[in-house]
Structure 1
Amino acid sequence: MIFNHSYVDINGVHMHFVEDDLPRKGFLPVILCHGFPHTWFSWHRQIPALSNAGCKVIAPDMRGMGETSAPNAIDAYDVNTICKDLIGLLDHLEIEKAVFVGLDFGAFAIYDLALRFPERVVAVIGLENPAAPHNPSKPPLEEYQEMGADHFLHINYFCETIGRADKDLLERVDEFFPKVFWALSGEGNYFDTFQFPKETHYIDALNDAPSLPWSWLDETELQVFIDSYRRSGFTGGLNWYRSMDLKWKQRKPFENTKSNVPAYFLGSENDVDLKGFHGEDPISLLRKQFPNLRAVEMVSKAGHLVQLEKSAEVNASLVNFVRDIKENLGKI
Structure 2
Amino acid sequence: MLDTGDIRMHVAEQGQGYPVIFCHGFPHTWFMWHHQLDAVAAAGYRAIAPDLRGYGRTEIPDNVESYTNEAVIGDLLALLDDIGAERAVFVGLDFGAQLVWELALRAPERVAAVAVLNNPFSPRPPRPPSAFWTKAAERHFLHLSYFQPPGVADAELAADPRGFLARVYYSLSGEYHYLDTWKNPPGIGYLDALPQAPALPWPWLSQEEFDILAADFEQTGFTGGLNWYRNLDRNWELTADYAEAKVSVPTYFLYGENDPDMEGFSGRDPLATLRANVVDLREVVEIPGAGHLVQLERPDAVNSFLLGALKGLDLS
Q: Same fold (TM over 0.5)?
A: yes
- The normalised TM-score by structure 2 is 0.97
- 1:148 maps to which of 120, 137, 156: 137
- Alpha-carbon distance between aligned partners in 2 of 1:254 and 1:286, rounded to the nearest angstrom: 16
Could you tell me how far apart the structure 2 residues matched to 1:260 and 1:155 are?
29
CA distance in 2, matches of 1:268, 1:29: 25
What does 1:289-304 align with in structure 2 at a 5 Å threshold?
289-304=277-292
| Structure 1 unmatched ranges of 5 or more | 1-6
2:41·2:47 contact (CA, 8 Å) conserved in 1?
yes
The 8 Å contact of residues 97 and 116 in structure 2, kept in 1 or not, is answered as yes
Q: Which amino acid aligns with 2:38?
A: P
Name the SS of the counterpart of 1:284 in structure 2: helix
SS at match of 1:291: coil
- In structure 2, what is the Cα distance between the partners aligned to 1:216 and 1:265? 22
Structure 2 residue aligned with 1:190:
178
Is the contact made by 1:256 and 1:289 (CA closer than 8 Å) also made in structure 2? Answer: no
Give the deviation of 1:287 after TM superposition: 3.2
> Per-residue displacement from partner, 1:4-57 (whole Å, max 9, x unpaired)?
xxx0111311100000042xxxx2210000011000000001111111222111
Change (3 A) 1:154 1:243: same
- C-alpha separation between the residues in 2 aligned to 1:255 and 1:281? 19
Report the AA paired with residue 255 of structure 1.
Answer: A
Identity %: 45
Secondary structure in 2 aligned to 1:278?
Answer: coil
Write the deviation string for residues 94-140 of structure 1: whole angstroms up to 9, x where unpaired. 1110000000111111111111111111001111001246632x210
Displacement of 1:74 in angstroms is: 2.0
Alignment coverage as a number of residue pairs:
316
Aligned-partner Cα distance in 1 for 2:272–2:230? 26
Contact 1:11 1:84 in 2 (8 A): no
For the residues of structure 2 that align with 1:283 and 1:272, how far apart are their CA atoms? 14
Contact in 1 for aligned 2:124/2:242 (Cα 8 Å): no
Query: Could you tell me how far apart the structure 2 residues matched to 1:169 and 1:182 are?
Result: 16
Work out which of the residue numbers 12, 25, 30 in structure 2 matches 1:18.
Answer: 12
Tell me, yes or no, if the aligned pair for 2:181 and 2:193 is still in contact at 8 Å. Answer: yes
Partner in structure 2 of residue 90 of structure 1: 80
What are the residue-to-residue correspondences of 1:181-260 with 2, within 5 Å? 181-260=169-248
3-state SS of the aligned residue for 2:82? helix
Counterpart of 1:280 (choices 257, 268, 272) is: 268
> Which structure 2 residue ranges, 5 or more long, are not aligned?
none
The one-letter code sitting in structure 1 at the alignment partner of 2:139 is: D
Aligned to 2:308: 320
Structure 2 distance, partners of 1:63, 1:232, is 12
Equivalent positions of 1:25-104 (< 5 A) are: 27-104=17-94
Give the Cα separation in 2 of the matches to 1:308 and 1:269. Answer: 15
Task: Show the counterpart of 2:96.
Answer: 106
Question: Does the CA-based 8 Å contact 1:100-1:124 persist in structure 2?
Answer: yes
CA contact under 8 A between 2:122 and 2:277: conserved in structure 1? no
* Larger deviation, residues 223-232 vs 293-302: 223-232
CA distance in 1, matches of 2:298, 2:218: 27
Q: Distance in 2 between matches of 1:288 and 1:235?
A: 36
Q: CA deviation at 1:164?
A: 1.6
Quote the offset at 1:220 in angstroms. 1.1
1:120 is matched by which residue type in structure 2?
R
**What letter is aligned with 1:238?**
L
The one-letter code matched in structure 2 to 1:100 is F
Partner amino acid for 1:13? I
CA contact (8 A) 1:212 1:218 kept: yes
Alignment partners' CA distance in 1, 2:86 and 2:277: 23
- Return the letter of the residue paired with 2:97: A
Q: Does 1:264 align with 2:252?
A: yes
Do structure 1's residue 180 and structure 2's residue 174 form an aligned pair?
no
Which residue number corresponds to residue 128 of structure 1? 118
RMSD (Å), alpha carbons: 1.4
TM-aligned CA distance change 1:285 to 1:260, over 3 Å: same
User: Structure 1 length normalisation: TM-score?
Assistant: 0.92
Q: Tell me the CA shift for residue 193 of structure 1.
A: 1.4
